[in-house]
Amino acid sequence: MRKIVQSHATEFALLAVIALISLFLSLATDRFFTLGNAFDLLNTSSVNIIFAVGLLVVLIAGGIDISFAVAASVVQYVAALLLESIGGGGWFSGLLIAAILGVALGAINALLIHRFKIISIVATIATFNIYFGLLMFFTRGVSIYNLPDWLTSRVILFEHEMADGSWVEITLPVLIMVACVISTWVLITRTTTGRQLYAFGDNPEGARRFGINVGGMQFIAFGWLGLMAGIAGLVQAHYAQEVVPNALYGRELDVLAAVVLGGARLGGGKGTVLGCVLGVLMISITQNGLNLMGVSPFAFKMIIGAIILVAITLSNTNIERLLPFMREGSRR
């Protein structure tokens, strides 16, 4: 048990913090500790969790990506236009188009980073501006509201009438999110490719000496994030029932903060899917709680910024120093 706690210190710390926040919010508000609110949280966090597990893979491989959220906007917009031109399509063709577009945009980042040796933060700040600039230029900022019916109609996977007559429900985005989370988990923990990504992020020079295909690693990492971003883009369009070109602008920093909060390291080689999901949930729960407590939305960013700073500081400080009982166990 101690071994598990020790090797997943970040995840346990996050769980503890989430429990504390939840306990506080349950006492402070009537609405927080209800099934309906929990399901709402899950429904609204789905898009960010899909983004987050994609970004996690890039961080593990030692890179960073600023462009994925606007790439998702490009995917939404182009997919909506393409679907219209093929006469509507359906979930299958929609997801396929979004996935292909997303991977293509991710591959552009990988190409710039690997072929032209541009460091990932610079390359993706450039593509962030290019993608967003092209999108705004060609759309003139016009939103699309007449989406195909299948895309705008809510798909309810589970619903239940509560004692007070209100309905609680789990919708399609949650299912897609779960599929993305599981497939990312399989990729990074169960396949040789995933372990090579960790090795490459951990010690690039060592990985190179072993003959790991360094370029391949970049394409897999950024391609996977592109795939997730494409899917997230479509899911967000479904959830919002419209395509607004700048709807996802700025989302990249929220997701990045959540993933780093979940224990991924900007240097590479470190990070888990569980930590990543908990990181997103913690920020959503905090935001949700502030909402329910009637705190001004203008204060959200400030409070969330402070929480990220505190959490990162705690996870950088050796957790064993804070919890003496674990130290006993670690002495060999």
Partner 1 sequence: MTDPSGEKADARALLSLRNINMTFGGVKALKNVSFDVMPGEVHCLAGENGSGKSTLIKIITGVYRPASGAVIDYDGQTYSHMSPVTAQNGGIQVIWQDLALFPEMTVAENIAFQTLLGRWPRFVNYGRMRETAIRALKRLGVTLDVDLPLKEFPIAQRQIVAIARALVGEAKIVFMDEPTASLTQSETDHLLDIVRTLSASGVAVVFVSHRLAEVLEISSRLTVLRDGGLVGVYSTEGMTQSRITELMTGRTFDQHVRAQPKDANPVVLEVKNLTRPGQFEDVSFTVRRGETLGITGLLGAGRTELALSLFGMLKPHSGEVVLDGKPVRFSTNREAIEAGVAYLSEDRLSLGLIQPQSIADNLVIASLDGIRTNGLLSDERKRQLVAQWVADLGVKIGKQSDAISTLSGAISSASQSPNGWRPIRNF
Q: Which is nearer to partner 1, 36 or 204 (CB)?
A: 204
Task: Give the residue from 312, 307, 260 showing the smallest Cα distance to 283.
Answer: 307
Q: In angstroms, give the least distance from the CB of 270 to partner 1.
A: 5
Residue 320 contacts partner 1 per CB under 8 A:
no
Residue 195 contacts partner 1 per CB under 8 A:
yes
Q: What are phi and psi of 50, to 5 degrees?
A: -65, -45
Task: Give the residue from 21, 2, 1, 3 showing the smallest Cα distance to 261.
Answer: 21
Residue 241 contacts partner 1 per CB under 8 A:
no
Task: Give the residue from 259, 237, 257, 258 showing the smallest Cα distance to 247.
Answer: 237
Sketch the per residue contact string, 198 through 237, with partner 1: x for CB under 8 A, - otherwise.
xx--xx-xxx-xxxx-------------------------
Q: In angstroms, give the least distance from the CB of 167 to partner 1.
A: 41
Task: Give the residue from 106, 98, 102, 122 showing the smallest Cα distance to 218.
Answer: 106
Q: Long-range contact list for 16-21, CB < 8 A, 24+ apart?
A: 17/282, 17/311, 18/278, 18/281, 18/282, 18/285, 21/282, 21/285, 21/286, 21/289
Q: Which is nearer to partner 1, 100 or 187 (CB)?
A: 187
Residue 182 contacts partner 1 per CB under 8 A:
no
Q: Taken in order 325, 4, 270, 65, is the CA torsion positive or negative?
A: negative
Q: In angstroms, give the least distance from the CB of 200 to partner 1.
A: 9
Residue 156's beta-bridge partner residues?
Answer: 171
Cβ proximity of 122 and 65 under 8 Å: no
Cβ proximity of 181 and 49 under 8 Å: yes
Q: In angstroms, give the least distance from the CB of 323 to partner 1.
A: 17
Considering only the stretches 106-114, 195-203, 235-243, 320-328, report the one whose residues sit in contact with partner 1 under the rule CB under 8 A: 195-203
Q: In angstroms, give the least distance from the CB of 186 to partner 1.
A: 8
Q: What are phi and psi of 152, to 5 degrees?
A: -95, -20
Residue 143 contacts partner 1 per CB under 8 A:
no
Residue 117 contacts partner 1 per CB under 8 A:
no
- What is the Cα–Cα distance from 102 to 306, expressed in whole angstroms? 33
Residue 2 contacts partner 1 per CB under 8 A:
no
Span 6-35, contacts to partner 1 by CB under 8 A: 7
Residue 140 contacts partner 1 per CB under 8 A:
no
Residue 327 contacts partner 1 per CB under 8 A:
no
Q: In angstroms, give the least distance from the CB of 214 to partner 1.
A: 13
Q: Is 157 helix (H, G, I), strand (E, B) or coil?
A: strand
Q: Is 266 helix (H, G, I), strand (E, B) or coil?
A: coil
Q: Which is nearer to partner 1, 146 or 189 (CB)?
A: 189
Q: Which helix (H) or strand (E) holds 161?
A: strand 156-161
Q: In angstroms, give the least distance from the CB of 191 to partner 1.
A: 5
Residue 270 contacts partner 1 per CB under 8 A:
yes
Q: Which is nearer to partner 1, 135 or 207 (CB)?
A: 207
Q: Is 27 helix (H, G, I), strand (E, B) or coil?
A: helix
Residue 153 contacts partner 1 per CB under 8 A:
no
Q: In angstroms, give the least distance from the CB of 196 to partner 1.
A: 6
Q: What are phi and psi of 158, to 5 degrees?
A: -150, 130
Q: Which is nearer to partner 1, 25 or 220 (CB)?
A: 220
Q: Where along the sequence are the contacts to partner 1 (CB under 8 A)?
A: 3, 7, 189-196, 198-199, 202-203, 205-207, 209-212, 269-270, 330
